[in-house]
């Protein structure tokens, strides 16, 4: 199996404050992998560093993507290589229509004839978006905006999709819909790494998981084993 993403001794500091402390993490092609942990553990900092959204001056250690070291690159160059992130809070273009948002997702692509075909594929994945494709993004519900943010990233045809807190602020029925879509996305060929505070659904969806606490990876295992771990049950699963 091809190693698509790997962090080796990765650290991140904001000035003199070290928030990620030498972690090792990998994602193989075709996997769904989750990173769980409490608020302030360093999960979002890790994700934003992978996708080049944090200043590279704070990075120590190595980040490799698709056989190339990327920890010195800016976000636009990393995205062009096939690594896309959906940020916590969605960040869609609220004054543009659903379809215009999806078109923006294709800005790095050169195969223009295939773009509309892929947008139509997003409407099949998220039928609510097709019903609202002429509506401005800001008029959508929170769940619909999350669907749009994920679909916009997928239109870029990423090799690896990063999702930061995809369930945040959403009703349980919408959360289930989003995570069913995540499984379908992997089945369609996109590798996924996601951060999620809802540890129950995270460990039920992914195949492997990492548990992060105060900037360190304290556990890494199959999600089945993590679900059955007494420490994980007590700290993250409410058991």
For the chain, what are the domain ranges?
A: 3-88+158-236
pLDDT attached to residue 113: 81
Instruction: Specify the CATH class of 3-88+158-236 in words.
Output: alpha beta
Beta-carbon count within 10 A of 141 CB:
13
Question: What's the pLDDT tens digit per position in 45-73?
Answer: 999 999 999 999 999 999 999 999 999 99
Residue 239 in this model has a pLDDT that exceeds 80: no
Residue 107 pLDDT grade (very low, low, confident, very high; cuts 50, 70, 90):
confident
pLDDT attached to residue 87: 93
- In this structure, is the dihedral angle defined by the CA atoms of residues 115, 116, 118 and 122, taken in order, positive or negative? positive
Residue 1 pLDDT grade (very low, low, confident, very high; cuts 50, 70, 90):
confident
Mean model confidence pLDDT for the chain: 95
pLDDT attached to residue 86: 96
Residue 234 in this model has a pLDDT that exceeds 90: yes
E strand or H helix at 216: strand 216-222
pTM of structure: 0.94
Question: What's the pLDDT tens digit per position in 176-185?
Answer: 999 999 999 9
Question: What's the pLDDT tens digit per position in 6-24?
Answer: 999 999 999 999 999 999 9
CA-wise closest residue to 165 among 156, 175, 173: 175
Question: What's the pLDDT tens digit per position in 185-206?
Answer: 999 999 999 999 899 999 999 9
Lookup: tokens for 144: 């619909």
pLDDT attached to residue 99: 96
């Amino acid at each position: 199996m091809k190693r698509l993403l790997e962090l080796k001794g990765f650290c991140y500091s904001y000035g003199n404050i070290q928030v990620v402390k030498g972690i090792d993490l990998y994602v193989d092609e075709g996997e769904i992998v989750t990173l769980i942990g409490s608020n302030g553990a360093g999960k979002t900092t890790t994700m934003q560093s992978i996708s080049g959204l944090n200043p590279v001056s704070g990075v120590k250690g190595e980040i490799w993507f698709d056989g190339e070291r990327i920890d010195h690159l800016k976000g636009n160059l990393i995205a062009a290589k096939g690594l896309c992130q959906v940020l916590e809070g969605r960040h869609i273009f609220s004054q543009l229509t659903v379809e215009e948002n999806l078109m923006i997702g294709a800005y790095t692509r050169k195969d223009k004839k295939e773009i509309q075909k892929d947008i139509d594929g997003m409407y099949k994945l998220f039928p609510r978006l097709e019903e609202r494709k002429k509506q401005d993004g800001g008029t959508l519900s929170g769940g619909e905006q999350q669907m749009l943010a994920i679909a916009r990233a997928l239109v870029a045809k990423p090799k690896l999709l990063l999702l930061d807190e995809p369930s945040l602020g959403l009703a349980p029925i919408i959360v289930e819909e989003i995570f069913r879509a995540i499984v379908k996305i992997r089945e369609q060929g996109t590798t996924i790494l996601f951060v999620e505070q809802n540890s129950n659904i995270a460990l039920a969806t992914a195949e492997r998981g990492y548990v992060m606490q105060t900037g360190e990876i304290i556990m890494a295992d199959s999600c089945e084993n993590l679900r059955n771990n007494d420490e994980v049950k007590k700290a993250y699963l409410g058991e």
